[in-house]
Amino acid sequence: MSPADENKDPDGTETPINAGSSEPVGVIDQPQSSSAAGTITKPDQPGTAPAGSGAPPRRRTKGNPVAAAANRVFEPAKTIFTEIGEMMILTGRTMASAVRAPYPYGNEFIGQFLFALQLCWFPMLISCVAFGFGAPGLQAANFLSLFGALDRLGGFFVLASIREFAPFVTAVVVAGVAGTAITADLGARKIREELDALQVLGVDPIKNLVVPRFLALMLITGLLDIYALLFGITGGIGAELLYAQPLGGFFATLFSNASTTELAASVLKCTLFGAIIAIVCCYKGMTATGGAAGVGRAVNEAVVTALLGVFAFNYVFTQTMLATNPDLQTIK
């Protein structure tokens, strides 16, 4: 017997499925709402009391405005400390890769050294002569001439040029010329995903790219510091001749105040300046994002960050040197 035959009366007439109910055929039972007829009840909104519960409406909870303001204020400091920590990690990995075999970066090291030397020697020459002749030369000579003590200019050059000006000029030139080139090179490789491709091929970017640049900048800054000392003192000799003074007193006070400790500290400090510049520039280049514009921002950030690191390290290094060698504070 088919289902259609079940709905027929014995006399052959068809009986509706919902026969005996007051609802018309085709109407499906729906759950009744507790609201009045003719009104539409919306689902409970977040932060409101359920309909008909009689409870007062709940207030939406908001974040603490003081905590939000503090987060906005300290977010730049958090970013700075995060970058410093990542740079320290990169420094450790670079030093470990430099001393651990194998050593496949020989040709890259020589190429980076010659590249930095080619870019930096002429700006270094102009800067050192200008700084030596200008600030510690003419200005100090003008002051010493008031007391008739131009022969003391050589002793002042030990303080000005050997201790401060020569390392600073070297760091500024290397960061502005060689450091920017390194950041742009690594940033372009990062944007083109070449660094990721090297890792996929099993090539360590730190050993093959960062280590040769790190060693090259350390070596070039140490050598350029001696170069800066020579041309800085040349500027001082020019200032002495401009005041028509004999050079005997200049060299006498220069050599009586200069010492091997002062010279070695200057070269060592400048070599560590090169390490700071290399780490900062490599880090900024390897973390560049945002296409060509991002590489430009990375270059600007690298120069500023490297110089800030150089200034901070110089203060700590100089104070430590003077504290451990108090005789250097006496001008003879």
DSSP code for 126:
H
Does 23 fall in a domain? no
User: What is the structure's pLDDT at 234?
Assistant: 87
How many independent structural domains does the chain possess? 1
Chain-centre distance for alpha carbon 218: 19
Among candidates 317, 313, 307, which has minimal Cα distance to 175?
Answer: 307
Cβ-based neighbours of 225, under 8 Å, separated by 6 or more: 166, 167, 170, 266, 267, 270, 271
Tokens at 317, concatenated: 């290094």
Alpha carbon distances (Å) from 10 to 6, 13, 25, 69, 273: 10, 7, 21, 83, 108
Cβ-based neighbours of 239, under 8 Å, separated by 6 or more: 132, 133, 137, 138, 140, 141, 153
Cβ-based neighbours of 41, under 8 Å, separated by 6 or more: 33, 34, 35, 51
Q: Is 36 helix (H, G, I), strand (E, B) or coil?
A: coil
Return the amino acid letter for 285. Answer: G
The C-alpha atoms of residue 270 and residue 115 are separated, in whole angstroms, by 19
Domain range spanning residue 195?
106-319
User: Is there a contact between 211 and 98 (Cβ–Cβ < 8 Å)?
Assistant: yes
Does 134 fall in a domain? yes
CA dihedral sign of residues 221, 222, 226, 229: positive
Alpha carbon distances (Å) from 110 to 120, 140, 282, 302: 15, 41, 17, 23
Does 203 fall in a domain? yes
Does 138 fall in a domain? yes
Does 40 fall in a domain? no
pLDDT tens over the chain, length 332 residues: 444 454 445 444 544 444 444 444 444 444 444 444 444 444 455 445 455 555 555 555 456 787 788 788 788 888 888 999 999 999 999 999 999 888 888 899 999 999 999 989 899 888 888 888 887 788 888 888 888 778 788 888 888 888 888 899 999 999 999 999 999 999 999 999 999 999 899 888 999 999 999 999 999 999 999 989 988 888 888 888 888 888 888 888 888 888 889 899 999 999 999 999 999 999 999 999 888 899 999 999 999 999 999 999 999 999 999 899 888 877 77
Does 24 fall in a domain? no
What does the DSSP assignment read for 140-183? Answer: HHHHHHTTT-GGGHHHHHIIIIIIIIHHHHHHHHHIIIIIHHHH
Does 331 fall in a domain? no
Does 69 fall in a domain? no
CA dihedral sign of residues 28, 29, 35, 36: positive
**Rounded to 5 degrees, what angle do the CA atoms 207, 169, 139 make?**
170
Provide the whole-model pTM.
0.76
Q: Tell me the sheet residues that pair with 14.
A: 8
Tokens at 149, concatenated: 């003590």
User: What is the structure's pLDDT at 91?
Assistant: 94
The C-alpha atoms of residue 53 and residue 272 are separated, in whole angstroms, by 73
Chain-centre distance for alpha carbon 304: 8
How many Cβ atoms sit within 10 Å of the Cβ of residue 331? 12
**Rounded to 5 degrees, what angle do the CA atoms 309, 312, 317 make?**
115
The C-alpha atoms of residue 157 and residue 141 are separated, in whole angstroms, by 11
The C-alpha atoms of residue 281 and residue 94 are separated, in whole angstroms, by 13
